[in-house]
Every structure is written in structure tokens, then in C-alpha cells.
Amino acid sequence: MVSYQEQEIERLSLMESSLMDHYGYNYSQLHKNLVREKYYALKAAL
């Protein structure tokens, strides 16, 4: 579960929706892919 501060909810929700629409992902797929993407970028940089 992802928790957000009150002032982040609307903006991040819009960002998530835009990304899900663009990539054709659901919420779970979006977050798993973003975690993988950042992880592999970190490993490549080390």
C-alpha cells in the first residue's frame, strides 16, 4: 500500500492516471514496472 500526504493525493492521482492511460497499465502494473525501472537504473549506475 502506498500512503500519501493530504496535499499530494490529487496531484499524484492525476499523474498515476496519466501514466496508466499512456502505458495501458493498471495501478499494480504501473508501480511494479516503475520500481523495476528505477532499480535497474540504480544497478547500472553503480
Give the chain's mean pLDDT. 95
Give the pLDDT confidence of 16-33 residue by residue, as tens digits: 999 999 999 999 999 999
Q: Please answer whether residues 27 and 16 qualify as being in contact, where contact means their C-beta atoms are separated by less than 8 angstroms.
A: yes
Q: What is the CA radius of gyration of the chain?
A: 12
Q: Which amino acid is at 33?
A: N
pLDDT score at 17: 97
Contacts of residue 35, Cβ cutoff 8 Å, sequence gap at least 6: none
Enclosing H/E stretch for 21: helix 9-23
